[in-house]
Amino acid sequence: MALLFLALLTLIDGLARWLLNQPIEGVRDVAAVAIALAVSCCLPVGLMERSNIVIRALPEARWPRTSRALDAVAAIVVALIMGAMAWQFMVFASKMAKAGETTWILKIPTAPFWYGVSSILMCAVLVQIIVVVLELGRCWGRFEHRERSTA
């Protein structure tokens, strides 16, 4: 929704520049925070759907246990990286809040948006923990991974 709103604002701004030779002030301000929120919202969904890029070093048909173990290790690494990102965005947001940072033209405080991004990343960490549990379950033969059908 944020990207759709941003696209509409960009379209209106472009038309105003072309037709009226007058840009809409603050579109860049809104764009900076809207893009950060929109991109961060894609991460939990992508992790849950397991739509991330996967490189298979070993064919699962030949080495199924080793392949499953590598998938579980990869899921743990992704969870750790997502946790580090969430933590660093929280640190960044608190620095923005302490400094009283605002957008350039509209003077919108930026810290609440970065706290929002950090919160969404924390949700992504929780989602990835679920993925880790499922991958560990596959290692121990508890869960079977079903490939999503693209048809």
Within a domain: residue 120? yes
Please state the domain count of the chain.
Answer: 1
Within a domain: residue 8? yes
> What is the predicted pLDDT for the residue at 113?
95
CA 89 to chain centre: 12
Res. 61 pLDDT band, cuts 50 70 90: low
Q: Is the pLDDT of residue 131 over 90?
A: yes
Within a domain: residue 119? yes
Within a domain: residue 31? yes
* Spatial distance between the Cα atoms of 118 and 26, rounded to a whole number of angstroms: 24
Q: Is the pLDDT of residue 58 over 90?
A: no
Judged on CB neighbours under 10 Å (0-12, 13-18, 19+), 101 is: middle
Q: Quickly tell me which residue has 């992704």 as its tokens.
A: 78
Q: Is the pLDDT of residue 148 over 60?
A: no
Within a domain: residue 49? yes
Within a domain: residue 144? no
Q: Which residue segment(s) compose the domain that 135 sits in? A: 2-139
Within a domain: residue 131? yes
Within a domain: residue 148? no
| pTM, entire model | 0.81
